[in-house]
Structures are given as C-alpha cells and as structure tokens.
Structure 1
Amino acid sequence: MVACGVFLSGFVISEPAPYELLMVTQIALWFLLGLRISRAVAPLLAFLLVFNVGGILSLTVMKDLGGGPMYLAVSTFLALTSVFYAAIIEDRHQRLELIFKAWVAAAIITALLGILGYFHAFPGAEAFTLYDRAKGAFQDPNVFGPFLIAPALYLMHGLLTGKLLQAPLKVAGLLIIALGVFLSFSRAAWALFLFSAVALVFILLLKERTGAFRLKILFLSLTAVLVLVVALVVALQFEQVRNLFLDRTTLVKEYDGGHLGRFARHRIGFLMSMERPLGIGPMVFSEIFPEDEHNIWLKSLTTYGWLGFVSYVSMMVCTLAMGFRLLLRDRPWQPHLMIAWIVIIGHVGIGNVIDTDHWRHFYVLLGIVWGCCALEWRHQRASRRGGSVI
C-alpha cells in the first residue's frame, strides 16, 4: 500500500485523485492498527497543524467562503501524509528504498506520457500536454517537472555509487526523466534539476575520501553531462522545441516584470499582508490580482496568515538544519536523506516564484527528512543503551 500510494502520486490529472482516496484509507488504517507518532516526529505534526490552523483562521475574514474550506481540507490532508511518511520510515528504514523505487517507476511512466504527448505520438496524446508543454499525468507542467527531480537524483546516486552492471537501466531511466523535465519547459524545474545534480555530486565528493572513488564520480558526472548536452542538441533540432526553448529561456518575461506582473504582485502582496494578520483567505489573491501569488512565502501570509507564515518558516529552518547536521553520517538511510534534503533546498529556492503548498511530492520529501532524523534520534538513544536500530 505504501508503494502504491507513492506510485499514484505521479498521476494527478483530476482532483480528488486516486492518491487522495488511497492515502486517506491507508493513513486511517495504519494509525488504527498501532502506528505511533514519536517525540522526534511530533514537532513536524505541530508545525503543520499550526500552519493549517492559521489557514482556518483566515476563513473568518472571507466574505464568501467559496472553495476555501475545501482548499484547507486538502492542505490538512497533505500535512497528515507528511507525518505518516515520517512515522512509517522511523518504524522501519527499509521502507525508504520502497518509497524511492515506487517514485522512480511513477516518474518514468508519467515522463513517458509527457514525452509521447508532446510529440503527438498517438491519438489523444495532447491530453498529456498544456500550452505545448509536457505535463505528463499532472494538471500543470510546473508541478510535473519538479516531481521528477527526486527520482532523477536517486538514479544518479545509483549510477555514481552502484555497480556498472546496473548502469544501462539507470541511464535509460534517467534520460527519460531528464527529457521529461526538459519538455515541461518549466524554468523552475530546469533550475531545480541543475542545482540538485550539482549539489549531489558535491556532497558525494565531500563524503567519499578515496581518490579512486572521487575519480569515478567525476568521470561518470562528466559523461552524464556530455550525454545530456548531446540529447539537448538533438531535441533542439525540432523547430517547435527550439522556439519554445528560446522563449522559456528569457530571464524576465512580460508576466514577470510587467504591470501587475509576478514581481509587482509580490511587492504589493507583501505590503498588503503587513496589514492583514489573519491573511485574506485561500484563493482570494487571484480575485484581487490577475493571477495567484506564485511565491510560497507570500502564499503563507495571504492564505495562512501571520501564524501560518511563522510556522512554515520555522518548519523549513528546522528541517534544513536537522538534515544538514546529519547529512554525512554513515547510516543505511543516509543516501535517501541526502537526496530529499537537496531537493527540499531546491524547493525552498523555487518557492520564490511558485506556490508549493499543495504539491504532494513536497510533503513526501518532508516526511523522508523528518523520518530519517527520527531514525537518527532512535539510533543515538539505542547506542547509549548498548543497542542499535540499524
């Protein structure tokens, strides 16, 4: 059920998606059958509950509730999924491998759908595109692209540290996912992919002390870069791809820097939020301005109020600080912690230009980091008592 849930997170064409239906049932069953929230995971639950309480308070200032209650119901559900993943990982660290393998399978399939849809490979394939951009089995290319990054890093880590006999399958999967990220034409996803890949290689070079291993990492990294460059050159031979690529590589577009563009809305929105301690309510910002906030920090202020904003910022600071402190410790769960921590940092960065509070995979990443930190806490306690959780 865990693997199936993670797999279904890659297929969100409509809401409620099968992921929601399965996870609601699964979370209820696991906790009814005895899954517990430890003291190490409890702070995550507290941060997320306070975050959503801020959202509930923001409903009180809305003239017309509209879809506000449903929006916050989804937010609360996603918060519970994060706590659920942290709890089951702390209970048994072997589930991390299961989670990432299911995520890779979902990423490859949804990326293939996006690629086939982009090139109109079969009748009706355009259902997997939006505005001539691949979106796979998602509603938005800007969510589709970032969803693929963590499984891409998992495959990269396997290539850099695993056996060469398994390399062909991992290379094939990585190329499919990389092409899916590229055809999403999401600048945030491109930046996230580049940052995450560089950060992964850098941390591996720090962690591994032997010259031979470092040479292997550098050689394989350079080979991967060469292959991706060749693939990019081939893709750019298609006029449709080339034109959209040149358009998307424009650093500041009209809807970014124009009148009431993204950056102007950010400035006005932050000033407005200083006078609204309870926020303005879910989805109200887009009724005042041409589009949504497209900034997770502003979204926290407008939708979840000052209380939600402080809770969200505190949670992210604690998540990154704890993960950084444990990043290089030699544990069975270290690779999974490293991948999730890197991708969360990337999400913090792209959160400046996009809303991430309803991204299912973001809550999975949070759960992975907190679950790994809880494992370390248990390991330290067991070590003091002469045992181990490994």
Structure 2
Amino acid sequence: MSAVDHHSRASFRPGMALVKLISNGAVAFGVFLQGFVIHEPAPHELYMGLLIPLWFLLGLKISRAVAPLVVLLLVFNVGGLMSLTVMDDLDEGPMYMAISAFLALTSMFFAAIIEDEPKRLELMFKAWAAAAVITASLGILGYFHAFPGADIFTRYDRAMGAFKDPNVFGPFLIAPALYLMHGVLTGRLMDAPWKILGLLIIAFGIFLSFSRAAWALFLFSAVAMVFILLLKERSTAFRLKILMLALIAGVLMVTALGIALQFDKVSALFANRTQLVQDYDGGHLGRFERHQIGFLMSMEKPLGIGPMVFSKIFPEDEHNIWLKCLTSYGWLGLACFVSLLAWSICFGFKHLLRNRPWQPYLMIAWIVLIGHAGIGNVIDIDHWRHVYLLLGILWGCRGLEHRAERREPVFGQIRRENKEPEHRFDRQAQRLQQQQNLSGGIHG
C-alpha cells in the first residue's frame, strides 16, 4: 500500500466516525423531542418529517425481518382510509389518518435504524430518559405553581409536563423509568445516585399526573422487570443485589409518596383518583356503557364509522383501543392491530432471556408494550408517539436477532475448524461483524 493510500484511509476513518456520531445524535434528538408536544404540530413532527425521508434517500433499507411491521401498519392505515368512505362529512377525518400514517412511518424508521446500528439503542434510551426527566420536572414545577405561568404544565390540577394530556404524559415516562431502574439494578454502584435521582423525579411526575392507567402501568412494569432479571441472572449474589436495591427503591418511593400526601391538595386528589370506578366510568353513557354500545354497533359496521365520529354520537371518545380500531379503522384495522401486538409480544418473549447487547432494551420495550395493551382497555393509545417508538424498538431488535442467528452457524464453524480458544474466536467474530456493518446499509 502506498503512503498516499495509507494517508487517505487514515483521514477517511475520522471523517466517517464524525458523520456516524452526527447521524446517531440526529436519531437520538428525534426521540428526545417526543417529550415536548404541548402544541401540534409538535417539533417532533416537523423534525422527523425532514429526517426520515433524508435517511431513506441515503439508502436506509427495510429488511425481511422488519417487513411484517411495515405490511401490518400499511394495511392498518388502509383500513382507516376505507373508513373515510362511509363518512357523510369528512371534517377532521383525513388529518387524523395523515397523523396515523406518519406515526406508522416513524415506527418503520426506528426499526430500520436500530437494525442498521444496534448501538443507537443506548443513545435513544438516554435521550428518552433526558426528555422524561425534563418534562417530569416541568410537570412537578407546574403542579406546585413554582413560577408565574407554570400552570401551562398542568391540566385539571394534574401534572402533564410538556404534553397536552396527563393521561399521555404519565405513560410516556414509564419506559425511561425502567431504563434508569435497570441501570441502578445492574450497573455500577458509583453511577447509581444520578440514576436514582432521575428515577425519583420521573416517579414523582407519574404520581402527580394522577393517571390511574399510568400508576398501574408503572407498578406492573417495575415488578415485571425485577422478576425477569431474577429469572435471567443465575448468580445468587446478583439476585440478592437486585432484591436489596429493589427494596430500597420501594422504600424511597413510599417515603416520597408519604411526604407528598402531607399536602392537602395532593391528598384530596389522590383519594379521588384512587376510586376504582369514577362517575364518568359507570354512569349513564359512561365509559363502560359506551364500550358495550360501541362494540355492538361495530358488529354491523365492517368498515367502521370514521375517525372522530364516535364522540359526535356519544358524549366522549371511545377510550378503548380495540373499540377505537373498530370505529376508525374497521374490522381490517382491528385484525392488523391485534396481529401486530400479538406478533410483537410473541417474538419478544422468545428472545427475552438471550444474552445479547440489545437484550435490556428489548426487555423494557416488551414489558411496556404489554402494559400499554392492558391500559388500552380504558384509553386510546393509537396516536401516542411513544407506542410507535416501542414497536420500532422491538422490531429493530427482531432484525438484530435474525442477523445474529444467521451469523452464529458461521462463527461456530470457524471455531470448530480452527479449534481456536474462545477469546480468539470472539475477536475474529467481531472483525467479521465490523466488515459486514461497513458493507451493508447506511452508517451515517
């Protein structure tokens, strides 16, 4: 190799590293913006509307492993377009479907971008955690009227941060809370204080949202993650560490809750929100009666009734994701949505305990997605940005699993033929993976 060629390659590598750093930061910033949607169109829509086509123009590809996500989301939106044909007055229907299509595109993008470079997962979750801490802090400050105009971050005396609805604000915080909790339970103790502080801020934000769905989702997700970690880790010392830290975290949260309940305003609203059935749930044409009537009506409407039409017939929206699919996307839309959720949960369970670098992120997304399917019985989640992000994370990890499964037989054959020690095999496998990464897809 000539000196000129060597110099060119040496200068090329730092340039590629810089481009890769900028591109990864651009993706993480898109995740960060999901925490700030107090007005629509939000900065997230404007930013992702520019970022997504740019990446696909530069060569980002959809693999076969991610293709089912694309197909099911496309057909889901076709069901929505078909529901528009039965509307007498389109009104907000086309805009509603445009938002649905855009969110589906973001899910496909995140899945493809994760499969292209798994290291982006860490940056994305760090950005999500940062957004969660900031928006939770705004919600807390707003709830206590810490400065003039702070009430913009509250609604109905409930914290909502930089969101339009406390019922979206609370669930948005769950995945980053699990990410910080996982770091506390499995990471170095010297890094734990900052993570615990962030976790306490997020947990307090969830509490002050006074969203029963968010409370239930947080409790379910935290217990599920601790259970999975205890199931995955075989070391007795590690299991003891997890149990001890989990107990300490529980004590801290209970203490924080006790302090918060000393405020009359907090305790009064808490007592009201802890009632299992509110007047608007069980009253005449309340949430549950609307569900029953709506499902019976949908059995006679295979194409649905169109987006936003249900709230014109009844006092409020559906507040049930399955009914929402039937009314706004028809039978076809419901079939696609159920299939997508079931497929995502099944392959996530299959890969849940595998020893992969992306396993913690897959686990968190899998747990939180199951939780969202549960709270979907009492709330609409079809236009929640972070739900599409969770789907993108899961399907991106599915793509990574497929790539890993294809490479494992090759690496195993190398080891058997060469009879090399384990550490030499690992280096050889790493070099082969780096070569494949450089030759395929877009990296920056």
Same fold at TM > 0.5 = yes
Give the whole-Å Cα distance in 2 for the aligned partners of 1:67 and 1:357. Answer: 16
Identify the match of residue 113 of structure 1 among 114, 135, 138.
138
Instruction: Output the amino acid matched with 2:37.
Output: V
Give the drift of 1:389. 4.7
Give the drift of 1:110. 0.2
Give the drift of 1:290. 0.3
Identify the match of residue 83 of structure 1 among 108, 116, 122.
108
> Who is 2:401 aligned against?
376
Larger Rg: 2
Residue 49 (1) aligns with residue 71 (2)? no
> Who is 1:204 aligned against?
229
Cα RMSD after superposing both structures:
0.8
Give the whole-Å Cα distance in 1 for the aligned partners of 2:401 and 2:30. Answer: 25
Instruction: Output the amino acid matched with 2:319.
Output: H
Instruction: Output the amino acid matched with 1:94.
Output: K
Give the drift of 1:385. 3.0
CA deviations 1:71-94 (Å, max 9, x no partner) are 000000000100100000000100
Residue 349 (1) aligns with residue 374 (2)? yes
> Who is 2:12 aligned against?
none
Question: Residue 78 of structure 1: SS of its match in structure 2?
Answer: helix
> Who is 2:3 aligned against?
none
Mapped contact 1:108–1:176 kept (Cα < 8 A) = yes
TM-score by length of 2: 0.87
Residue 193 (1) aligns with residue 218 (2)? yes
Identify the match of residue 279 of structure 1 among 274, 280, 304.
304
Give the whole-Å Cα distance in 1 for the aligned partners of 2:433 and 2:350. Answer: 19
Question: Residue 40 of structure 1: SS of its match in structure 2?
Answer: coil
Give the direction of change, closer, same or farther, for the CA distance of 1:242–1:372 in structure 2 (3 Å limit). Answer: same
Mapped contact 1:378–1:389 kept (Cα < 8 A) = no
Gaps of 5+ in 2: 1-25, 412-428, 435-444
Identify the match of residue 249 of structure 2 among 199, 212, 224.
224
Question: Residue 35 of structure 2: SS of its match in structure 1?
Answer: coil
> Who is 1:359 aligned against?
384
> Who is 2:88 aligned against?
63
Give the whole-Å Cα distance in 2 for the aligned partners of 1:163 and 1:379. Answer: 28
Identify the match of residue 241 of structure 1 among 252, 261, 266.
266
Q: How does 1:297-312 map to 2 (within 5 A)?
A: 297-312=322-337
TM-score by length of 1: 0.99
> Who is 2:149 aligned against?
124
Give the drift of 1:383. 1.7
Aligned residue pairs: how many?
Answer: 390
Give the drift of 1:163. 0.3
Mapped contact 1:375–1:389 kept (Cα < 8 A) = no
> Who is 1:21 aligned against?
46
Instruction: Output the amino acid matched with 1:360.
Output: R
Give the whole-Å Cα distance in 1 for the aligned partners of 2:366 and 2:408. Answer: 25
State the percentage of identical aligned residues. Answer: 72
Instruction: Output the amino acid matched with 1:354.
Output: I
Give the direction of change, closer, same or farther, for the CA distance of 1:349–1:25 in structure 2 (3 Å limit). Answer: same
